[in-house]
């Protein structure tokens, strides 16, 4: 179920990134930041949170388990 929520969040981000409905806005946020820039700053922060959720919930557990073998055998092979 968690993977589906992350997938839906990615789709929402894809749609939100196409912000054609607000190209004509000239408002200022906090008195000095253009509205479109503030929108994309918030969108970038939300995208970072979604990528974190992807790493937590969708990263395969087997990708973290790397077998390096016996280190003493490798050290013996490296000696001349």
Q: How confident is the model at residue 70 (pLDDT cuts 50, 70, 90)?
A: low
Short-list 18, 12, 2, CA closest to 55: 2
Q: Say which residues have a Cβ less than 8 Å from residue 38's Cβ, sequence separation at least 6.
A: 29, 30
Domains of the chain by residue range = 2-59
pLDDT for 11-62, tens place per residue?
Answer: 998 998 888 877 888 889 888 988 888 899 999 999 999 888 888 877 777 7
Are the beta carbons of 42 and 29 closer than 8 angstroms?
Answer: no
CA distance 76 to 33: 62
Residue 66 confidence (pLDDT) = 66
What pLDDT sits at residue 4?
81
């Amino acid at each position: 179920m968690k993977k589906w929520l992350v997938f839906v969040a990615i789709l929402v981000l894809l749609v939100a990134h196409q912000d054609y409905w607000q190209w004509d806005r000239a408002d200022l946020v906090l008195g000095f930041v253009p509205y479109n820039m503030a929108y994309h700053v918030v969108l970038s922060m939300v995208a970072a949170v979604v990528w974190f959720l992807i790493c937590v919930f969708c990263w395969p557990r087997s990708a973290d388990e790397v077998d390096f073998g016996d280190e003493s055998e490798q050290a013996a092979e490296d000696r001349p």
